[in-house]
Structure 1
Amino acid sequence: MKYTRLRVGMKLIPLCFLVFVMTSISGCDSDSNSDDDMGVETPETPENPETPENPEPPEVENDLPFLPDPGAGKSWTIQPKVSNEFDFEGGKDAPEFANDWQDVFFNGWTGPGITRYTPEQSKIENGELIYQANVVGNTIQTGCVTSKEKAVYPLYMEVKVKLSNSVLSSAVWMLSEDSTQEIDNLEAFGEKENEYFSKRLHLSHHVFIREPFQDYQPLGQETWYTDGKGTQWGDDYHNYGVLWLDPWTLKYYVDGELVRETPVDEIDPEGYTGGTGLVKPMHMIISAAAQSWREGNSGIDFLTDPSVTKTERTIMRVDWIRVYKPE
């Protein structure tokens, strides 16, 4: 469920709370009935009321209480150019989508292995971005959308997603324009028959050298998060977040709980970034894919796997994506 929020100062607060404040603070204009209209006697105002020179602003709910203090006079504020609620009419043709997002990978890449990112495999409907895959010849056609704008640390990116019940990856990630720095907020496989992958989330990142090609990412078991409760992540919607606080700090959250922090010495141990760490502005990416490494490791044939050929099992749902920065 989505909630309408308005900004007061640098805060986002629930609309119902704003109505309460606006009808409670003396001197604020409101469309609500006055006390006189409701038959309530209004107390007289003193001739010389003592008003503080700098009255305290009304307290507001912190939407992200688990994040670090953003700094004096700042709050974690949504960045509209790289965020989307998907709760508008008109689908992908609507300006709420078309102005800031594109229905292809930002540089024209069509996806890993036999994946083919195809606009026809995604739609916006009933307040959600929805992907559904199809087998076409020797390819798996899936959806991918990317933000037109980029963002850089410090930022927190969070999504509400229901994974597909398939061997295809459901992924939400960030990538620099030159494809040399990548942060994976969510990479998961919801196929419920697979006891290992259906209960794990891959929380990782990459740094690359493109020529000659080299790819580093941390590969330990700690990058495959499981909650120890047997949760199969594709059973329901969950909130997945990553805090990119500075070039050497990545923290991952699931439903508001910190579940992994990448050690500093695992950000770039090979020196692929030239000692800078993760510093490049990145596009926001939401995608589904047939990932080639699973063919070798798991013996999957994507073209015949029943979790792919039964297209209803490939449906991935994204309720929203929100990117915040301290402002």
Structure 2
Amino acid sequence: MKRQFLNKCSLTFILALSLIACDSNDAPAQDTESKPDTETDIDQENDDLSYLPKLENDLTWTLQPQVSNEFNFDGGKEASEFTTDWKDGYINSWTGPGITQYSYEQSDIVDGELVYHATIEGEKIKTGCISSKAAVTYPMYMEVRVKLSESVLSSAVWMLSDDSTEEIDNLEAFGAKSSDYFSKRLHLSHHVFIRDPFQDYQPEGPETWYADGKNTIWSDDYHNYGVLWEDPWSLSYYVDGKMVRKTPVDEIDPKNFTNGNGLTKPMHMIISAAAQSWRSSDSQGAGAVDFLTDPTVANVDKTIMKVDWIRVYKPE
């Protein structure tokens, strides 16, 4: 996922009848992790989705099991609770951006969590990636509970169409405290592509880099990250149950790459870590990163990313 960094420093959808990655001296931080106890199965009656748009005509936000997972089972990635609906890898044969190499060895399911770590091997950064076998389309809400890695690698949870022309990024963040800017911001954005000849549109600007105004360092703790895809022209982003960004309609596809259709294609869920190529250059004033020598990548513990759960809902 190629990203661009800013210079220094909705149409409403009517549901049924009516509604609603991959490319910055770490100070020790107090351990403030607060991972909750989890049940074997999702108890949807206890899911608080009251912050989402109200549904009419007796519709409710209903969990979609094929693209959701609590990671709360024995047997790791060999368990049927994983292999039935999830692929241990990307949606196709691509192995990651730049020097990233997605590898099954870099992730596991342990103690109710999906856990990633990265290692430097020669001229490659080996990281983890999983993807859902099924794809879903709007209207939908996807939410994850994640503790970012404390490295310059991206921690990412996103969605992509089969033909890789439409992408929605729920979460993309860089947890290394070596960057005061990146450690306090979340990249909340999307892409539309033309593959031949290759063209990539993504909204730019400071509004796509969310900071909460409280100097929160996102890698210090678990947080809930959500994206609401209401219709082809409506994307809203949530952090810990609060809507923090709604993409303007005129920023969905201003170059008409989708021929006026907007975001319509079914998308797979993807959870990944990556050494994103654009961060290797200082051409945009973001500060160049050498992934092969960066201390937050060389220290495996700093590269650990934890995913408590991923949950996808549709109105039914």
Do the aligned partners of 2:40 and 2:70 also contact (CA within 8 Å) in 1?
no
**In 2, distance between residues paired with 1:6 and 1:168?**
31
Matched with 1:89 is: 74
* Letter paired with 2:291: F
Task: Quickly say closer, same or farther: Cα 1:75–1:240, change in 2 above 3 A.
Answer: same
Q: TM-score, normalised by structure 1?
A: 0.83
Structure 2 residue 308 is the aligned partner of structure 1 residue 319: yes
**1:155 pairs with 129, 140, 144, which one?**
140
Matched with 1:172 is: 157
SS in structure 2 of the partner of residue 191 of structure 1: coil
**1:70 pairs with 55, 67, 85, which one?**
55
Do the aligned partners of 2:114 and 2:307 also contact (CA within 8 Å) in 1?
yes
| CA positional deviation for 1:4 | 4.1
**In 2, distance between residues paired with 1:197 and 1:86?**
28
Which structure would you say has the larger RCO, counting Cα contacts within 8 Å and 6 or more residues apart?
Answer: 2
Matched with 1:280 is: 265
**1:128 pairs with 113, 130, 137, which one?**
113
SS in structure 2 of the partner of residue 179 of structure 1: coil
Q: Deviations over 1:16-75 (max 9, x none)?
A: xxxxxxxxxxxxxxxxxxxxxxxxxxxxxxxxxxxxxxxxxxxxxx62001012221111
* Letter paired with 2:281: G
Matched with 1:307 is: 296
**In 1, distance between residues paired with 2:41 and 2:90?**
32
Alignment of 1:129-278 (within 5 A): 129-278=114-263
Do the aligned partners of 1:71 and 1:326 also contact (CA within 8 Å) in 2?
no
**1:12 pairs with 33, 40, 44, which one?**
44
Moved more, 177-186 or 70-79: 70-79
| CA positional deviation for 1:299 | 1.4
| CA positional deviation for 1:12 | 2.8
**In 1, distance between residues paired with 2:156 and 2:39?**
26
Structure 2 residue 104 is the aligned partner of structure 1 residue 104: no
Do the aligned partners of 2:192 and 2:200 also contact (CA within 8 Å) in 1?
yes
| CA positional deviation for 1:5 | 9.1
Do the aligned partners of 1:203 and 1:252 also contact (CA within 8 Å) in 2?
yes
Do the aligned partners of 2:154 and 2:276 also contact (CA within 8 Å) in 1?
yes
* Letter paired with 1:299: A
> Unaligned regions of 5+ residues in structure 2, if any?
1-35
Task: Quickly say closer, same or farther: Cα 1:63–1:142, change in 2 above 3 A.
Answer: same
> Unaligned regions of 5+ residues in structure 1, if any?
15-61
**In 2, distance between residues paired with 1:70 and 1:247?**
18
Larger radius of gyration: 1
**In 2, distance between residues paired with 1:216 and 1:199?**
25
Q: Deviations over 1:87-132 (max 9, x none)?
A: 0000000000000001010111100000000000000000000000
**In 1, distance between residues paired with 2:294 and 2:60?**
47
**In 1, distance between residues paired with 2:39 and 2:58?**
24
Task: Quickly say closer, same or farther: Cα 1:84–1:189, change in 2 above 3 A.
Answer: same
Matched with 1:41 is: none
**Total equivalences in the alignment:** 277
SS in structure 2 of the partner of residue 284 of structure 1: strand
Do the aligned partners of 2:149 and 2:306 also contact (CA within 8 Å) in 1?
yes
**In 2, distance between residues paired with 1:149 and 1:86?**
17
* Letter paired with 1:163: L
SS in structure 1 of the partner of residue 94 of structure 2: coil
Do the aligned partners of 2:167 and 2:191 also contact (CA within 8 Å) in 1?
yes
Q: Deviations over 1:280-307 (max 9, x none)?
A: 0000000000000001032111000000
Task: Quickly say closer, same or farther: Cα 1:105–1:6, change in 2 above 3 A.
Answer: closer
* Letter paired with 1:219: E
* Letter paired with 1:292: S
**In 1, distance between residues paired with 2:150 and 2:158?**
20
SS in structure 1 of the partner of residue 257 of structure 2: coil
